[in-house]
């Protein structure tokens, strides 16, 4: 079970790195126009996204796949002084619920990285990157201490603190989809408002892997109306308050989801130029690819293996192109430019 969860979470990390780096990285001097992108190698189920192959529970993300995503992220993260733009994305499915604990799935993890923030996540080098947890240290064989980020607020304006993390982990332990993974956590205690101790039932070398699934919820917002019912209509399945880089502004289930950039997002050091993301589910591979090639969307995932060559050989109206071995970016006079491999390797 944990092996499958780790695969799904790393699949989520793909989009953590894509979407968040898309906003939170910049390349000085790069063109700010929106890019057209298609990822076309290692197309497995997106249960692999946040970007991972089927792996052992303690395996790290495949470095090459992570680099692919980072390259794509940086293709979109084009300078914090640039004009704001809208990014149109087509996926094969959308999340069935706004509740991040209702279903452990690729689409839920993608959504979580957009509107929430994890305590930590995988970076492009397969290492753990601090997010809402700034650092951590082992106290003893059964205890890990996490130091939390200060001056962070939820969409509601409520301040983020240790109480929200403790509340979130306790809720995860009750979730039908997540509780098997979090059963290894015995209790969580608050040291102060921005420090927690996580106590495990045994020495667990995968604890940090597990903590990448912790997207702190707004306790004040959710408490007393936080039932978890799979495919049910609950408060949490229809309302959301997170600390992430985007805020959900409109949702038409199965049709469209719109997210605006969070003006109060805590990560101010590396602001990007995307101010709106429009997600459209397109289930059919050929239709999704046609939407990319026609310019109706800027990014698609996944690309069917049988369409890889067509994607690589597509003629975009571009004056300057360079092939990357794992994805294609097109640059048009009013949108694309293919990004060279060299410009995609450095991240913030």
Q: What single string gives the DSSP state of each residue in 19-64?
A: IIHHHH---TT---S--EEEE-SS---GGGTBT--S--TTPPPPHH
Token pair 């994305």 is at which residue? 89
What tokens does 3 get?
């092996």
pLDDT tens digits, residue range 216-233?
Answer: 999 999 999 999 998 888
Q: pLDDT higher for 323 or 233?
A: 233
Strands 195-200 and 36-39: unpaired
Q: pLDDT higher for 248 or 344?
A: 248
Q: State the virtual CA torsion across 161, 167, 168, 174 in degrees, nearest 10.
A: 170
Residue 281 has pLDDT above 60, yes or no: yes
Q: Where are the domains of the chain?
A: 2-344
Whole-number pLDDT of residue 214 = 98
Residue 52 has pLDDT above 80, yes or no: no
β-partners of residue 135 are 147
In the 8-state DSSP scheme, what is residue 344?
G
The fraction of the chain above a pLDDT of 90, given in percent, is 52
Fold category of 2-344 in CATH: D-Maltodextrin-Binding Protein; domain 2 (3.40.190)
Contact by Cβ (8 Å): 173, 185:
yes
Kind and range of the H or E run holding 347: none
77 Cβ neighbours under 8 A, 6+ residues apart: 21, 22, 23, 24, 25, 26, 27, 270, 272, 273, 348
pLDDT tens digits, residue range 62-105?
Answer: 444 444 444 454 444 444 444 668 999 999 988 889 999 999 99
Q: DSSP secondary structure string, 277-328?
A: EEEEE---HHHHHHHHHHTS-SEEE---GGGHHHHHH---S-SS---BTTEE
Kind and range of the H or E run holding 248: strand 246-252
CA distances from 158 to 131, 219, 220, 243 (A): 18, 9, 7, 10
């Amino acid at each position: 079970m944990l092996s499958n969860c780790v695969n799904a979470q790393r699949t989520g990390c793909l989009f953590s790195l894509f979407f968040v780096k898309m906003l939170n990285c910049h390349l000085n001097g790069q063109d700010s126009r929106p890019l057209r992108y298609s990822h076309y190698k290692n197309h497995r189920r997106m249960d692999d996204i946040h970007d991972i192959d089927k792996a052992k529970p303690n395996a790290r993300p495949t470095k090459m796949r992570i680099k692919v995503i980072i390259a794509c992220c940086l293709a979109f993260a084009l300078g914090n002084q640039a004009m704001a733009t809208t990014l149109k994305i087509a996926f094969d499915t959308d999340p069935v619920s706004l509740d991040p604990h209702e279903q452990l799935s690729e689409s839920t993890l993608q959504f979580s990285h957009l509107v929430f923030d994890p305590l930590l996540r995988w970076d492009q080098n397969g290492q753990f990157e601090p997010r809402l947890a700034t650092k951590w240290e082992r106290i003893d064989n059964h205890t890990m201490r996490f130091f939390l980020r200060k001056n962070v607020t939820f969409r509601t304006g409520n301040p983020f603190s240790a109480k929200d993390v403790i509340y979130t982990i306790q809720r995860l332990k009750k979730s039908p989809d997540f509780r098997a993974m979090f059963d290894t956590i015995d209790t969580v205690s608050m040291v102060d408002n921005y420090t927690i101790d996580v106590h495990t039932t045994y020495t667990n070398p995968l604890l940090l892997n597990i903590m990448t699934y912790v997207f702190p919820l707004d306790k004040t917002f959710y408490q007393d109306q936080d039932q978890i019912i799979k495919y049910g209509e609950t408060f949490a399945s229809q309302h959301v308050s997170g600390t992430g880089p985007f805020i959900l502004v409109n949702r038409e289930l199965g049709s469209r989801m719109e997210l605006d950039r969070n003006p109060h997002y805590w990560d101010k050091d590396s602001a990007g130029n995307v101010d709106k993301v429009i997600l459209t589910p397109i289930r059919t591979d050929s239709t999704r690819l046609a939407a990319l090639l026609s310019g109706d969307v800027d990014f698609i995932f996944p690309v069917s293996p049988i369409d890889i060559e067509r994607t690589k050989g597509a003629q975009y109206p571009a004056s300057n192109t360079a092939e990357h071995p794992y994805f294609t970016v097109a640059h048009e006079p009013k949108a694309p430019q293919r990004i060279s491999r060299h410009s995609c390797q450095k991240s913030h």
